Chains A and B, each alone.
Chain A
Amino acid sequence: DAGVIQSPRHEVTEMGQEVTLRCKPISGHNSLFWYRQTMMRGLELLIYFNNNVPIDDSGMPEDRFSAKMPNASFSTLKIQPSEPRDSAVYFCASSPQRTGFGGYTFGSGTRLTVV
């Protein structure tokens, strides 16, 4: 099992540019989550999907952020346009349908720097 795979590991971009972060969940996991980690706010849930359907996006900070899950094996988090305050580590996690049976497995994260 390759675990949750995120790409890229590091991204440096200029303010105003579009940024796309990618995630491949563990095969068979039906739930996918995007988190953001910053020094000021800690780990925050941005959005999560169950069976490819967005369930709760109340954590998405602004309309500049969007997430999609076109199929069970791929999800993207897009920021357009990016701003310096978006600099953070973005984690993707996946889980089986019920938390009691599987818990959550996190990817290695994408460190985003917006200059």
Chain B
Amino acid sequence: AQKVTQAQTEISVVEKEDVTLDCVYETRDTTYYLFWYKQPPSGELVFLIRRNSFDEQNEISGRYSWNFQKSTSSFNFTITASQVVDSAVYFCALSEATGRGADGLTFGKGTHLIIQP
């Protein structure tokens, strides 16, 4: 069975600090997809990134970067020079690719990130 663990329930940092959100996953499949979603106080789920299991290259998008390491089953998310607008709950999620087509996401419990001005 697949599982996603986000051990950090809540993180609080001061604006402009760098912060890393941890994500560890479990799956028996060799083909799978990893995701990060942001849920701001307004409640919607905002897609941030998707990676497939065959692509371990790190990715950078502006102040956001992601470190995917299959050896440790981790997919960590770093925000550089954090801003108050980054305050939200961040979810890591896993989907296993089967022959049936798109499968559902298994979410971690989320990390509540608080950026203090």
Partner-B contacts on A (CB < 8 A): 30-31, 33, 35, 42-45, 48, 50-51, 55-56, 59, 89, 91, 93, 95-100, 102-106, 108-109, 111
Binds A, one of B14-22, B63-71, B76-84, B104-112: B104-112
Interface size for B (C-beta < 8 A) is 23
- B40-60 residues with Cβ-Cβ distance < 8 A to A are 43-45, 47, 50, 52
Q: Which of A42, A59, A91, A95 contacts B45 (CB 8 A)?
A: A91
- C-alpha spacing A50/B110, complex, angstroms: 27
Partner-A contacts on B (CB < 8 A): 33, 35, 37, 43-45, 47, 50, 52, 91, 95, 97, 100-110
A48 and B43 within 8 A (CB): no
List chain B residues, Cβ under 8 A from A111: 43
A50 and B101 within 8 A (CB): yes
List chain A residues, Cβ under 8 A from B108: 42
Closest beta carbon of chain A to B55's beta carbon, Å: 10
- C-alpha spacing A109/B43, complex, angstroms: 8
